Structure 1
Amino acid sequence: MFHPLHVRAVEQLTDDSAALTLDVPPELRAAYAYAPGQHIALRRTNERGEEIRRTYSLCDPAGAAPETLRVGVRLVERGEFSTYALKELTEGRTVEVLPPTGRFILEPRPGHFAAVVGGSGITPVLSIAATLLKREPEARFCLIRSDRTTASTMFLEEVADLKDRYPDRFQLVTVLSREEQHSGLASGRLDEERLTALLPSLLYAPGIPAMDGWYLCGPLGLVESASKALRSLGVPRSRIHQEIFHADAGMEGGVAANTLTTTSTSPARPAGLAGPAGSLPTGSVTVSATLAGRGGSWPMDDGESVLETVLRNRADAPYACKGGVCGTCRVRLLSGEVHMDRNYALEPEELDAGYVLACQSHPLTPKVEVDFDA
């Protein structure tokens, strides 16, 4: 559930981004413990009475009972929440916050790890790298980051501090798309072709396929390009973890949508992406859901997603982005068949296990049963 947290500090990072630090009172610190790479949802009600939620990744090293939560927020054109966060949220004000969630995480362990990030995609990876290097002396981390210019680069000082603190275990590679550097790589976008050529020369040991984990975070184009490049270089899919930033207009950004269909009676992941799904007649679908140990069944209105139907009857149903990105509304499909408009949050093994995103799921059968607690 959401809790009101006070803003301790607002730190300007670039002309269009800032870090927000939120105080966590002692009685809530266990609830707000987080793993490196997780995110929180922030909520406000605008002047029209509409509830607005946005998800932001935590950037500080993870802790079991954090006194503060720190997130990075970048201003997005026509972004209602980011505009509010950067122009109206000031020290001492209060914002409602959902406890941390997300599966884009790396629990500290020995090994060699790397990340390819773009823009604000640095935020969760900063927490991942800092936590790993602090807790695990036998771990190494390589960060390959892409930004437009030096002036637009978020968390520049924090990343430089990691390089100074762990010179033998932290490798930093910076690529600027709109600014020439005096040294290092030439400017330009990190597309699939360039990454395929660059990565083997950047990482000498233990080699690309032998890395213990790759973490990709940023705009869809960069994440897809990096994933394809890694697969072509022999990296197993199980070692590639990704999180997309900027999903669609509702998420203050824009990308194309993936579509797929899944069914509870056929848990194997679909071989390809399904086309647009047809809709069942209005009032012919019943959605059953278990949430916080209580179950219920409700008729679905025309055009609704599973999440929208549940929210009409259970206001406590968890969600954040409604764009298929954050994974907050992940449910297990117990019976029936659904069509997911898009999925940027669930890993293949989660799909194999029968999990779907409630915000993107539209029933293809008269009855659908999901479990939010699974």
Structure 2
Amino acid sequence: MARPATETARSAPAARHGAFHSLRVAAVDRLTDDSVAVTFAVPPELRETYRYMPGQHLALRRAGGGAEIRRTYSICGPALAPEGPETLRVGVRLVEGGEFSTFALKKLTVGDTVEVMAPAGRFVLEPGPGHFVGVVGGSGITPVLSIVSTLLAREPEARFCLIRSDRTAASTMFLEEVADLKDRYPDRLQLVHVLSREEQQTGLPSGRLDEDRLTGLLPALLPVEAVDGWFLCGPYGLVQGAERALRALGVPRGRVHQEIFHVDDGASTAPARVAAPAHATVTATLDGRSGSWPVQDGESLLEAVLRNRADAPYACKGGVCGTCRAFLVSGEVRMDRNFALEADEVGAGYVLACQSHPVTEQVELDFDR
């Protein structure tokens, strides 16, 4: 017999981190043949809600094909308005077979409305003095563009080295925006651009930025040991190769931050779904309210919570975006995949609810921490 669900309330936080609001599209700018930048207008009453740190992302939601579609896209604009932004700009690259990206590139127009969740994500840099480096591939430039533009505008004692990899010049997102930053901050922004499928008249030879190449390239470009923070963003292969290169060069793990935009099917093998312990129960706290519900066989903890709380935060359900991050208050879980949480977050007790399955009969999560 299923256990009855129970729910209690406590003092709710001021903002609901999983809530969506309808925002009007103010601009759709073509960046390349397969990418656009979408700008949303933020009304005055929601500017505090959408105040963001450079590097954070937005979850977008729409109905399609009889089901709800959610996708996350990084904010690319600088975070310069302490009272909250008047607009939010995200970069969208077309993914083969991608329902939302196809809609954004082919159908989305000025005046349309899209449901947008409040900013989330921990791939961020609070502006301060120091020397920082970004290693990005393809659309991985999007959050790093926000980080770089914010840092250089707000902190005169900061320097940034941007190492970016793209297939061709024509496929490079935000090419003009990065060039403008280089012109504005010539002494504080170092730019290195590598094309994997096209030769350049100047700069580095073409080819992929893999582990071996980065291990040799980075010490030739900058004093590796003096860098205060490394920001790696892009496809799984590039990010993992860069991380291994930094490890080989002796960079402390705490200085390396990463966000993966695309994970190949062969990047990891998820373990087979297993039956939950008999009568497993998840207790979850979300927006100040706590409830306890049974976990069905093979269900993730997020799925169990969503059956009872449709407002539970999530986007990709693939262990990549980190939107469903929660603190494990008690019990034990097994995560199938984790491409979003850093080692210190896991060590501190955080899990991805979409990838977590109960190991103990009682598990308690807190989405508000």
TM-score (norm 2): 0.92
Instruction: Verify: 1:50 aligned to 2:61, yes or no.
Output: no
1-structure distance, mates of 2:339, 2:225: 24
* Bigger relative contact order, structure 1 or 2 (CA pairs below 8 A, ≥6 apart): 2
Instruction: Verify: 1:129 aligned to 2:140, yes or no.
Output: no
Match of 2:204 in 1: 185
Once the two structures are superposed, the pairs formed by residues 190-201 of structure 1 within 5 Å of their partners are 190-201=209-220
Q: Report the identity percentage.
A: 72
Q: Per-residue CA shift, 1:192-246, capped at 9, x if unaligned?
A: 001101111111xxx1022000000000000000011011111100000000002
Deviation at 1:278, TM superposition (A): 4.0
Q: Per-residue CA shift, 1:249-273, capped at 9, x if unaligned?
A: xxxxx452376xxxxxxxxxxxxxx
Match of 2:121 in 1: 102
Match of 2:275 in 1: 279
One-letter amino acid matched to 1:8: A
Match of 2:42 in 1: 24
Match of 1:154 in 2: 173
One-letter amino acid matched to 2:172: T
1-structure distance, mates of 2:206, 2:167: 9
Deviation at 1:368, TM superposition (A): 1.0
Instruction: Verify: 1:302 aligned to 2:320, yes or no.
Output: no
Q: 1:213 aligns with which of 229, 235, 249?
A: 229
Q: 1:241 aligns with which of 257, 260, 265?
A: 257
Deviation at 1:323, TM superposition (A): 1.1
1-structure distance, mates of 2:273, 2:363: 15
For structure 1, the 5+ residue unaligned runs are 249-253, 260-274
Q: Per-residue CA shift, 1:69-94, capped at 9, x if unaligned?
A: 00000001001111111111111000
Q: 1:316 aligns with which of 307, 311, 319?
A: 311
1-structure distance, mates of 2:62, 2:229: 36
Match of 1:224 in 2: 240
One-letter amino acid matched to 1:257: S
Q: SS of the residue aligned with 1:209? A: helix
Deviation at 1:324, TM superposition (A): 0.9
Count of matched residue pairs: 349
Q: 2:361 aligns with which of 352, 356, 366?
A: 366
Of residues 95-104 and 334-343 in structure 1, the stretch that sits farther from structure 2 once superposed is 334-343
2-structure distance, mates of 1:213, 1:189: 23
Deviation at 1:279, TM superposition (A): 2.5
Deviation at 1:284, TM superposition (A): 2.2
Q: SS of the residue aligned with 2:102? A: helix
- Alpha-carbon contact 2:276-2:296 (below 8 Å) kept: no
Which 4+ stretches in 1 moved above 6 angstroms?
Answer: none
Q: 1:91 aligns with which of 98, 104, 110?
A: 110
Of residues 104-113 and 80-89 in structure 1, the stretch that sits farther from structure 2 once superposed is 80-89
Q: SS of the residue aligned with 1:172? A: strand
Deviation at 1:347, TM superposition (A): 1.3
TM-score (norm 1): 0.91
One-letter amino acid matched to 2:258: Q
